[in-house]
């Protein structure tokens, strides 16, 4: 069933007891921070940064929203069945059509045992204009009075999609912030972990444009020799480059913390385009920040100045 079913299985097994803040009016469509999808949640379900959905932590009830590629709908329409859900521990009792502003689709209603409790479960799939929406709803038996089936069905029917997520919201999903984006655009975000900044946002245009990837890791060697070896291993792990020649490598201080810098020449693995590359790693208390900047030789001097602006303006949240 591929990656699509892996995602749906993961959503079916996620416990929704998450500490939340904020509130929403049931009559209003609310977009979780960083999400293209939104809906009007029943009273009591709220959002918080880092959660792509809505939850009531006191009742362990919630709604999770996920966006998949547009062509995923056809696969899910065929593979998400009462039989396949039963293999994932969900006993379904009906499949219904779903109509919403985001698009049309279907949903299953059933029950699942999670840890020591039985929960009501909904799995909805909606075909959007350029995406497939996958929505998972969980309501424990002891919370059904607060969140009856009609309330959840009505909420699903309000599913709405916005054309794009504002850049400021996408940056809110990161564990760090930037003092200055150096006129870069946000080309991609891995919530809680990494961001790709570039002059373009289309993947096909990326190799030719200056771009820098910034990510947070959970390791931070304390000895200087170990840091050098760590930085070189990290550099060797860059997968979109080939024919790499290291020009220089040395330790340096970054933001008052120990760091390591590597400059190199190479080629883009797909296009064979010649590129210049810099990797900086800033080591902290049990974590490290890795920055990888890439640009064509003709753009390098101007791009490097912008990369340094990004490097020197990273702050922890």
What pLDDT is recorded for position 14? 45
Rounded to an integer, what distance in angstroms lies between the CA atom of residue 59 and that of residue 147? 10
Range of the domain at 209: 167-316
Residue 27: predicted pLDDT: 52
- The answer to whether the CB of 118 falls within 8 A of the CB of 111 is yes
Q: 46 with 104, same domain?
A: yes
Ramachandran angles phi, psi of 78, nearest 5° = -85, -35
Same-domain pairing of 9 and 118? yes
Instruction: Identify whether residues 272 and 307 lie together within a single domain.
Output: yes
pLDDT < 70: residue spans in the chain: 1-27, 49-50
pLDDT, position 222: 85
Determine the pLDDT at residue 116: 81
CATH number at residue 242: 3.40.1000.10
273 in the same domain as 193: yes
Domain shared by 197 and 271, yes or no: yes
78 and 209 assigned to the same domain: no
Do residues 76 and 103 make contact, with C-beta atoms less than 8 angstroms apart?
no
Look at residue 273 in the predicted model and tell me its pLDDT.
96
pLDDT of residue 11: 46
Look at the chain and report how many structural domains it folds into. Answer: 2
Q: What is the pLDDT of residue 296?
A: 97
């Amino acid at each position: 069933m591929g990656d699509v079913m892996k995602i749906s299985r993961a959503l079916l097994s996620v416990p929704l007891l998450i500490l939340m803040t904020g509130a929403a009016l049931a009559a209003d469509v609310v977009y979780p921070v960083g999400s293209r999808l939104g809906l009007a949640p029943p009273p009591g379900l709220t959002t918080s940064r880092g959660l792509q959905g809505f939850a009531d932590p006191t009742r362990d009830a919630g709604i999770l929203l996920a966006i998949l590629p547009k062509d995923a709908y056809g696969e899910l329409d065929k593979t998400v069945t009462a039989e396949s859900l039963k293999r994932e521990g969900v006993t379904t009792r009906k499949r219904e059509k779903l109509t919403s502003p985001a698009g049309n689709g279907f949903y299953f209603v059933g029950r699942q045992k999670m840890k020591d409790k039985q929960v009501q479960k909904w799995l909805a799939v909606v075909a959007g204009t350029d995406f497939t929406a996958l929505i998972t709803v969980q309501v424990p038996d002891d919370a059904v009075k607060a969140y009856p089936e009609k309330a959840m069905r009505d909420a699903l029917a309000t599913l709405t999609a916005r054309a794009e997520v504002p850049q400021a919201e996408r940056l809110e999903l990161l564990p760090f912030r930037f003092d200055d984006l150096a006129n870069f655009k946000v080309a991609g975000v891995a919530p809680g972990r990494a961001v790709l900044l570039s002059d373009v946002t289309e993947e096909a245009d990326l190799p030719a444009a200056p771009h820098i990837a910034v990510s947070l890791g959970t390791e931070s060697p304390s000895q200087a020799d170990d840091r050098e070896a760590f930085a070189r291993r990290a550099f060797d792990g860059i997968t979109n480059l080939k024919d790499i020649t290291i020009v220089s490598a040395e330790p340096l201080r970054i933001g008052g913390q120990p760091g390591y810098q590597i400059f190199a020449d190479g080629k883009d693995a797909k296009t064979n385009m010649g590129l210049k590359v810099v990797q900086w790693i800033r080591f902290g208390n049990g974590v490290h920040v890795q920055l990888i900047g890439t640009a064509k030789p003709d753009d390098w001097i101007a791009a490097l100045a912008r990369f340094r602006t990004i490097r020197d303006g990273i702050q922890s949240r």
